[in-house]
Amino acid sequence: MYEKNKERQLVSSVISFILLLLMCVGIYIASSCSRDDGPGSWEVSFESNGGAAVASQEVAHGAPANAPPPPLRDGFTFGGWYRDPSLNEAHDFTVTVTGDLELHAKWDPILFTISFESNGGAAVASQEVAHGTLAKAPPPPLRDGFTFGGWYRDPSLNKAHDFTVTVTGDLELHAKWDMVAPVLHTVSFKSNGGGAVPSQEVAHGTLAKAPPSPLREGFTFGGWYRDPSLNKAHDFTVAVTGDLELHAKWDMVAPVLHTVSFKSNGGGAVTSQEVAHGAPANAPPPPLRDGFTFGGWYRDPSLNKAHDFTVAVTGDLELHAKWDMVAPVLHTVSFKSNGGGAVPSQEVAHGAPANAPPPPLRDGFTFGGWYRDPSLNKAHDFTVAVTGDLELHAKWDMVAPVLHTVSFKSNGGGAVPSQEVVHGAPANAPPPPLREGFTFGGWYRDPSLNKAHDFTVAVTGDLELHAKWGFFVPDANFRAAIKARIPDAFDENDLMDTAHGDVVGRRSFDVRDSGIASLRGIEHFTDLESLNCSGNNLTELEISDNTNLRSLNCMSNDIVELNLSSNLALISLNCSVNKLTELNVSKNTDLVNLTCNDNRLINVDLRGMRRIDNLLLAPCLSFVEGSNDNNINPISTLKIHESLKNRTEIINAKQRSCVSGGLTIATYSVSNESKFDYTLVCSSYDPKSKNCLN
């Protein structure tokens, strides 16, 4: 019984313990569930590790923290937030927060480059230095002939660098050098019988330069040696560290032979010689030459420098024989040309042949050779030796006469018939052809009219002659004005070349106030675009050939009529102060500027002017009401283009000074149209009724 009770107590105790344990576990679980499942927040703090402070955050359980703006730290770049102080685990701001969290800032130092410009010294490696730290002074570089003077912050070497100062940016340092006087050594050369070699001054530790090899006859140069015994050859790649004397080595060679040859210049042949270098040549026996005596051997073909056979030979040599002529026996060979051109006689040495002269010429004949007798029976052989005076006679064979055609190109003048001229005879000068408006200037042998033909010269072939024409400018003042501008346009006869490039190609001509009474000749200035002939004595002006004319100023003359029907390019016209009674510009459709005041205009036709920029047609600048000058009449008919109706280009200044029964049209431009009191636009104006006649 007792055992059973004891067993029951034990079971009861175990059950109680289990229940107590389960209750504790439940309490713990309840407590945990209450923290996880209930509303709560966590603190996220930031350790900036030397950077600017960053505020902590209260983050709801299960939400991610917000990435704050990167903090700042001098000399560093921000490298992110890490979950551990050792900066091994980067924090992901998209991950939810489930407990208090401290994040740690990572920093990367800013590196600056320190470079070194050694300025001719040995290269120095650059350094990477963190912001705020010190650069290390490198070992001083080396430079021959200089001592190192330190590193400087500027190329001008004014500001020395202090290596105890912290680095805050990229930096280039420049080496300073102080030159030291070099130690010089003398290197001399003993040529040992060869040509002299100048010594050298060589800086300590540098190389001597190998001089050009000296020369010595009969030897070849074997190099330079450091000892007189010629046992130790010098190496020119080894630095010189003291004064040095070098000695030439020579190797004897086989004797050099030179050829001495002899040019006998017409004498007997002379055998050449082989002569050892430095030995003299042997004088050969004198050669022979008929009619000459031998004058010696010379070293030059011009026979100016005689050779001395006691002088050593040092190279190949060619000697030339000199000859003195023995006075020869001369015979005269004369030539009778029998009507042909003269042939000079010859002086021929006895036994030598005469030279055949060029065949003479004779019109109408061919040359048949030279004969020894006047009867022309025995022809002369020019290979036969002459042994006495000789007279030779020309033989001729008659031929039909040769005719040449001389034709005449009159270049716009009347036709001139050609001529048949016998070879050698001159052509006849034909009567001068005629060409209206031009003066004949002669016949020329070339189309360019540069070479005048001389009719006294014989004709020897077909010939084409070209007429030259010039224009005589009748007005002396106009002629002088042209000459002042184009002096080479006139020939020696005072004729103007109308094809001259500066005549046909001239664009502008200003001859104002020149006393000109006639502009005859202006028609040849076909490219003329601007003409100013104002202030002259002109009574007429013919410009119908000047079709390119764009601007014409002919004011202050006595012109009574002006035909502009061919000047369709005209833009500007000033014909004021003349004696015009009519003005017709109906065909001048480009005309926009017209000044024609102070004339005697009665009829004016402006229908060609579709646009007017400037217009002055006052019939009298000096005419006022009450004047007795009956030669000045008011405009009675004015015609304008239909396109100008209802516009203000035509002005009727009825209240101005020239109003006595007429119409005054004053200067007009769009900018000042408002100053006029009345406007009139009509095709035709009747001054009596003061009405437009449309």
pLDDT digits (tens, 9 = 90+) for 146-157: 899 999 999 999
Average pLDDT over residues 615-633: 44
Asked if pLDDT for residue 624 goes beyond 70, the answer is no
Asked if pLDDT for residue 394 goes beyond 90, the answer is yes
**Torsion (CA) 611, 614, 620, 622 in degrees, nearest 10:** 170
Average pLDDT over residues 131-137: 90
Q: What is the C-alpha to C-alpha distance for residues 594 and 586, in angstroms, rounded to an integer?
A: 13
Asked if pLDDT for residue 652 goes beyond 70, the answer is no
pLDDT at residue 190, rounded to an integer: 95
Q: Pick the range with the lowest mean pLDDT from 130-139, 232-241, 498-507, 614-623.
A: 614-623
Instruction: Report yes or no on whether pTM surpasses 0.85.
Output: no
pLDDT at residue 682, rounded to an integer: 37
pLDDT at residue 602, rounded to an integer: 81
Residue type, 506: R
Task: Measure the CA angle with vertex 216, ends 212 and 222; round to 5°.
Answer: 60
Q: What is the C-alpha to C-alpha distance for residues 379 and 373, in angstroms, rounded to an integer?
A: 8
Own/partner pairs for 189-192, CB < 8 Å, 24+ apart?
189/224, 189/245, 189/246, 189/248, 190/228, 190/245, 190/246, 190/247, 190/248, 191/216, 191/248, 192/247, 192/248, 192/249, 192/250
Could you give the domains of the chain? 41-109 (2.60.40.4270), 111-179 (2.60.40.4270), 184-252 (2.60.40.4270), 257-325 (2.60.40.4270), 340-398 (no CATH), 403-470 (2.60.40.4270)
Asked if pLDDT for residue 618 goes beyond 50, the answer is yes
pLDDT at residue 372, rounded to an integer: 94
Residues 309/323, Cβ–Cβ less than 8 Å: no
Task: Please report, rounded to a whole number, the percentage of residues in the chain having pLDDT higher than 70.
Answer: 83
Kindly report, residue by residue over 472-519, the tens digit of the pLDDT.
888 999 999 999 999 888 888 788 888 888 888 999 999 999 999 999
DSSP code per residue over 223-260:
EEESSTTS-SB--TTSPP-S-EEEEEEEEE-PPPEEEE
Residues 6+ apart with CB under 8 A from 693: 682, 683, 684, 685, 686
Mean pLDDT of the chain: 83
Kindly report, residue by residue over 55-105, the tens digit of the pLDDT.
999 999 999 999 999 999 988 899 999 999 999 999 999 999 999 999 999
Asked if pLDDT for residue 19 goes beyond 50, the answer is yes
Q: Alpha helices of 38-137 — where are they, by DSSP H? A: none
Asked if pLDDT for residue 454 goes beyond 90, the answer is yes
Distance of CA 545 to the CA centre of its chain: 41
Q: Is the dihedral of CA 146, 147, 153, 156 positive or negative?
A: negative
> At which residue do the structure tokens 């009770």 appear?
5
Kindly report, residue by residue over 264-294, the tens digit of the pLDDT.
999 899 999 999 888 899 999 999 987 789 9
Q: What is the C-alpha to C-alpha distance for residues 599 and 48, in angstroms, rounded to an integer?
A: 103
Q: What is the C-alpha to C-alpha distance for residues 520 and 427, in angstroms, rounded to an integer?
A: 36
Q: What is the C-alpha to C-alpha distance for residues 46 and 67, in angstroms, rounded to an integer?
A: 10
